[in-house]
Amino acid sequence: MIKDLETVPESELRDFAATLLDQDNQPLSIGVATVLKAEDRGLFWPRSPELLDTIPTSATFLRIEHRSLVVPITGVRRCTAEMQSIHFHFYF
């Protein structure tokens, strides 16, 4: 788990405003995220799913807007489950 997230209460890590950032901290997509601390992973729902082709899976940071906290992430990939809303999985 990311050390910066250890002190953040679980209640603040569900359905929060977030931004996926590239390696230069430039925004790639804004949306809503949930962090699953016990599993060292999270979920990201883009605000504009119609722009999926522009959301690179090479995002390297997640900005937690209400905390102004930027944490490194890896392995961003689109979920292929058909019964789910369009979202991405990421890992710490």
Written in H, E and C, the secondary structure of the chain is CCHHHCCCCHHHHCCEEEEEECCCCCEEEEEEEEEEHHHCEEEEEECCHHHHHHCCCCCCEEEEHHHCEEEECEEEEECCCCCCCCCEEEEC
Give the per-residue pLDDT at 83.
Answer: 80
| Predicted TM-score (pTM) above 0.75 | yes
- Give 10-66 pLDDT, tens digit per residue: 999 999 999 999 999 999 899 999 999 989 999 999 998 766 666 667 799 999 999
Give the per-residue pLDDT at 35.
Answer: 97
Average pLDDT for 84-90: 89
Closest CA to 45 of 31, 29, 27, 56: 31
